[in-house]
């Protein structure tokens, strides 16, 4: 890469979504532009903590690229500055607000979500502010710290076996499909039981299939990146979970920058669930 290329690393699930950016913008020029037309839309005084979701800082990495002999510019979008501590706050807020706007949910309803933790925290935060009850189904391998945060936000947490498969017919023992014991199976069971007692009170917003997931990044994260980088991005590297972050960012950036490269990062064998 040439020395006028920028690389941006932004915080995904806990710390980073990575981007490679082109055509350096001088610090003095950027600072001057910021004074005239500040991109941050966060109010001086937040009406609620949900106003502190999004508009996360973009920070230049200096020592790491130098140590590894990387000549291009590397920037980091620090998603851990969101109110709940991760990029998933964006979709938690967006899914709840969109469902309320559509009339899918009403105040006092119970929201249920199978999660590895961060989306649950984002949803629990939004639910606490906007007036919904929250139930989280969570594999036992997830940290106690996440459980404590979820409980502090008022969520009820149901733990499930770590080895329970999320996919139907993945693991059948003695004629019993293990999927029903997973956090996804648990969420579905809780929803059915709650709606059997009071029809329509329980909902799974479903981060895996909910269009509000990528929309939060199409209209939020990607727009911020374009503003912060003056529309000059060569490539973006994004960690992948449900795929909503990378899909949303990629879709929006490709509209403005057809030649931008999109690189997804995913742990080996993460698909083997």
Q: Which residues are catalytic?
A: 88
Beta-carbon neighbour count of residue 230 at 10 Å?
A: 13
Beta-carbon neighbour count of residue 32 at 10 Å?
A: 10
Tell me the chain's radius of gyration from C-alpha atoms.
Answer: 20
For 149, residues 6+ apart whose C-beta sits below 8 A from its C-beta are 84, 85, 121
Residue 208, classed as helix, strand or coil, is: coil
How far are the Cα atoms of 50, 54, 105, 239, 258 from residue 131, in angstroms, in the given order? 13, 21, 11, 31, 41
Query: CA 124 to CA 112: how far, in whole Å?
Result: 10
Half-sphere exposure of residue 166, counting CA atoms within 13 Å on the CB side?
A: 15
User: For residues 205 and 111, is the Cβ–Cβ distance under 8 A?
Assistant: yes
Query: CA 178 to CA 175: how far, in whole Å?
Result: 9
Query: CA 87 to CA 78: how far, in whole Å?
Result: 9
């Amino acid at each position: 890469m040439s020395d006028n290329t920028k690389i941006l690393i932004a915080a995904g699930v806990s710390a980073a979504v990575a981007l490679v950016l082109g055509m350096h913008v001088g610090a003095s020029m950027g600072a001057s532009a910021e004074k005239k037309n500040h991109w941050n839309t966060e109010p001086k005084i937040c009406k609620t903590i949900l106003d502190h979701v999004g508009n996360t800082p973009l920070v230049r990495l200096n020592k790491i690229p130098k140590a590894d002999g990387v000549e291009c510019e590397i920037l980091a979008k620090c998603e851990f500055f969101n109110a709940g501590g991760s990029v998933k706050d964006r979709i938690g807020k967006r899914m709840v607000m969109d469902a309320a706007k559509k009339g899918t949910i009403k105040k006092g309803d119970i929201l249920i979500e199978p999660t590895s933790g961060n989306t649950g925290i984002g949803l629990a935060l939004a639910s606490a502010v906007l007036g919904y009850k929250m139930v989280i189904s969570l594999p036992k391998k997830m940290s106690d710290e996440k459980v404590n945060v979820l409980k502090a936000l008022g969520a009820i947490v149901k733990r499930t076996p770590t080895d329970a498969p999320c996919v139907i017919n993945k693991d059948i023992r003695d004629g019993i499909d293990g999927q029903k014991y997973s956090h996804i199976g648990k969420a579905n069971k809780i929803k059915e039981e709650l709606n059997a007692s009071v029809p329509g009170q329980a909902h799974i917003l479903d981060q895996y299939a909910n269009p509000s997931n990528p929309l939060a990044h199409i209209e939020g994260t990607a727009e911020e990146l374009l503003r912060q980088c003056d529309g000059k991005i060569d490539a973006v590297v994004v960690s992948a979970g449900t795929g909503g972050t990378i899909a949303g960012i990629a879709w929006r950036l490709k509209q403005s920058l057809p030649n931008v490269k999109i690189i997804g990062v995913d742990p080996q064998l993460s698909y083997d669930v």
